[in-house]
Amino acid sequence: MQADMNRQVRLVARPRGIPQAEQFALVTEPVATPRAGEILIRNHYLSVDPAQRGWANDEGNYSAPVPLDSPMRALAVGEILMSNAPEFRAGEFVYGWFGWQTYCVATAQAVLRRVIPSALPLSANLGLLGINGLTAYLALHRLGDPKPGEHVLVSTAAGSVGSFVGQLARIAGCHAVGLTSSAEKAALAQARYGYRRMINYRDTADLAGAIREACPDGNDVFFDNTGGPIADAAIRSMRLRGRIIQCGTAANASWTPVPTGPRPEREVLTRRLRWSGFIIFDHVAEFEEAATHLTQFALDGKIVHDEEILPGLEHAPGAIARLYRGENHGKLIIAVD
Amino acid sequence: MQADMNRQVRLVARPRGIPQAEQFALVTEPVATPRAGEILIRNHYLSVDPAQRGWANDEGNYSAPVPLDSPMRALAVGEILMSNAPEFRAGEFVYGWFGWQTYCVATAQAVLRRVIPSALPLSANLGLLGINGLTAYLALHRLGDPKPGEHVLVSTAAGSVGSFVGQLARIAGCHAVGLTSSAEKAALAQARYGYRRMINYRDTADLAGAIREACPDGNDVFFDNTGGPIADAAIRSMRLRGRIIQCGTAANASWTPVPTGPRPEREVLTRRLRWSGFIIFDHVAEFEEAATHLTQFALDGKIVHDEEILPGLEHAPGAIARLYRGENHGKLIIAVD
């Protein structure tokens, strides 16, 4: 391998739905040279995220779709080889929007966080210390305001964010109950992710009843990644002055036309709820503080973080489809060889 | 009139729906004597409130229904004639749960607020400084967090609370737009209650379009007393990080079965909304501070407060029905003769 060649995984066809391997191509081009204000990064680990589906499609999401014939948009962690930006120096490690490629020339705006050296592996910056762990920590603490002894209900509890929410709720002294879609995931979440009880909603004809049984005292916090019928039942389990964190709406594949459901206004009023929307990129200024806490929890053995690392860039094209098939065990990461 | 006789307006039959005059009776009984920990109050003004409908019915509302053959539950303002409670002295004026009667023996728990003497008339303690004005002030400021230059949308803008919200939003430097149900009320709210624009939703086939036209920049705060289709349209006019204050759900007469509507989860998430429920009696500890601000606004001529005072207890039995017919002009109050 030539040190000065950049290997890229480019999006070459617009997918409809979940991106498949054939919509990507491995392309090699010379490494670009950073200009004034830019840095050159050698990526070590690349992230595979459910949100890449939206970025690859033309769905009118939060961000513009990835242009065809350009490297797939992705979070990554790497080392700065050369810096023409005053805020960075060669030898520093950074986490940010560096794409599915071996080398990246970027401005400071692409960097989300300077990586703090610790005893944790560098790959942890994509899972525990990446947007999954940061979302769990910041959404739970900034919007959920969990207090010791309170009850926390989490949808998609075995997922990439939910697996941290249960553990962080336990660390905060709360009782966490989770919802997931299989008995296997329920057992995993109860064994490893801090949940006292798990509900397999696919195996439950009466979701409201199952929540009442698992949460006889009601819930102070509902950490919601789904919306839909799960949220309809959960909102009716809330205690007075409960907090709902809307972190995703995975239950509804389409919002055109807008799906209907039971009205929540009376629940918001009579239970004095506070229902807030959370999007992680609003909170970049708080990443370092959150990462410091998460690192310490991991070093103290209070939090587990599972990773599945695929060896080599050639695994990237099929990785999003693999994620949506649910075949990964833990945060799916690509090691750049 | 004998000074030591108490005239009461008692609920003598359980209404279905809006209480009518024939469900009440005027009864005279000796004034009770306050025991240890109790105070004797001479009521000066009695409040007539929409919530009395729920208290008189057996609706399973926030509070137990008024027992038959007891004085109608009501807020009132009066003077303490005798005090056996350490926190009160004879000669002080108080606002609280003293009922539709001339005299009331009560414990300190029945007092919501000690009346601060000012140049405002004593009756103002039932409207501007009563739960209407206090709700407008505390809900807007505690949950709405209005900042100068922001846009505030208010449902039931010409109502007992909304008429203060528009003025308080203007005082906070915001642009207020209101929704109401007639051209007459729209004109009144625009002329007197601080609203820049009013929307008569009864005269509008396309509510979302009418809101877009009246609020071309979107809204930072939605002060909602209705829920239902008005809220569905309003929530889709919210700007990023907008705040929704759920203060009432008047649009839905029944919640059994729960009415359906377009799902709000995606709006909460993508607009990063904060949607909170407000019930005034959670905020009793903040009443004095709010009343101090409201008094100063009125003395400075920054806020108007309309009152309609009915002379004499004998007007009480028909007063709730009068309120629901919309015949009153401003806060409906009964003067105790």
- A223-266 pLDDT tens trace: 999 999 999 999 999 999 999 999 999 888 788 899 999 999 99
Please tell me whether residues A107 and A204 are part of one structural domain.
Answer: no
Contacts 24+ apart (CB under 8 A), A191-195: A192/A163, A192/A304, A192/A306, A193/A157, A193/A158, A193/A162, A193/A163, A193/A164, A193/A166, A193/A167, A193/A304, A194/A166, A194/A167, A194/A168, A194/A169, A194/A170, A195/A154, A195/A157, A195/A166
pLDDT in tens, A78-106: 999 999 999 999 999 999 999 999 999 99
CB contact under 8 A, B275 and A268: yes
Please tell me whether residues B317 and B253 are part of one structural domain.
Answer: no
CB contact under 8 A, B269 and A278: yes
pLDDT in tens, A148-170: 999 999 999 998 899 999 999 99
Q: Which domain holds residue B107?
A: 5-127+305-335
Q: What are phi and psi of A311, to 5 degrees?
A: -85, 100
CB contact under 8 A, A277 and B271: yes
Tell how strand A175-180 and strand A197-200 pair up: parallel
> Cis peptide leading into A257, omega within 30 of 0?
yes
Q: Would the ipTM clear 0.85, i.e. be above it?
A: yes
Please tell me whether residues A81 and A135 are part of one structural domain.
Answer: no
* Other Cβ atoms closer than 10 A to A174: 24
Nearest to A231 among B260, B265, B272 (CB): B265
Tokens of B24: 């009440």
Residue B33 sits in a domain whose CATH number is: 3.90.180.10
Please tell me whether residues A135 and A266 are part of one structural domain.
Answer: yes
3-state class of A314 per DSSP?
helix
Residues of A near B (Cβ–Cβ under 8 Å) read 62, 224, 227-228, 231, 246-249, 252, 255, 258-266, 268-279, 282
3-state class of B259 per DSSP?
coil
In a domain, B229, yes or no: yes
Closest residue in B to A230 (Cα–Cα): B265
Best mean pLDDT range from B13-17, B62-66, B86-90: B86-90
In a domain, A194, yes or no: yes
Residues B108 and B121: their CA atoms lie apart, in Å, by: 24
> What is the DSSP annotation of A214-257?
H-TT-EEEEEES--HHHHHHHHTTEEEEEEEEE---TT-S--SS
Query: What is chain A's Cα-based Rg?
Result: 21
Tokens of B129: 């400084």
Please tell me whether residues A81 and A24 are part of one structural domain.
Answer: yes
Confidence of residue B62 (pLDDT cuts 50, 70, 90): low
Closest residue in A to B226 (Cα–Cα): A265
For position A254, what pLDDT does the model report?
81
Please tell me whether residues B218 and B233 are part of one structural domain.
Answer: yes
Q: What is the total count of domains within chain A?
A: 2
Please tell me whether residues B25 and B121 are part of one structural domain.
Answer: yes
CB contact under 8 A, A265 and B246: yes
In a domain, B300, yes or no: no
For residue B226, the 8-state DSSP code is -
For position A271, what pLDDT does the model report?
97
Residues of B near A (Cβ–Cβ under 8 Å) read 62, 224, 227-228, 231, 246-249, 252, 255, 258-266, 268-279, 282
Please tell me whether residues B33 and B149 are part of one structural domain.
Answer: no
B contacts of A246 (beta carbons < 8 Å): 265, 268-269
Please tell me whether residues A153 and A166 are part of one structural domain.
Answer: yes
**B281 Cβ contact partners less than 8 Å away, ≥ 6 residues apart:** B62
Please tell me whether residues A84 and A64 are part of one structural domain.
Answer: yes
Q: Write down the mean pLDDT value for chain B.
A: 95
Residue B157 sits in a domain whose CATH number is: 3.40.50.720
Tokens of B266: 């995606």
Query: For chain A, how far is it from start to end, CA to CA, in angstroms?
Result: 10
CB contact under 8 A, A252 and B266: yes
Please tell me whether residues B77 and B177 are part of one structural domain.
Answer: no
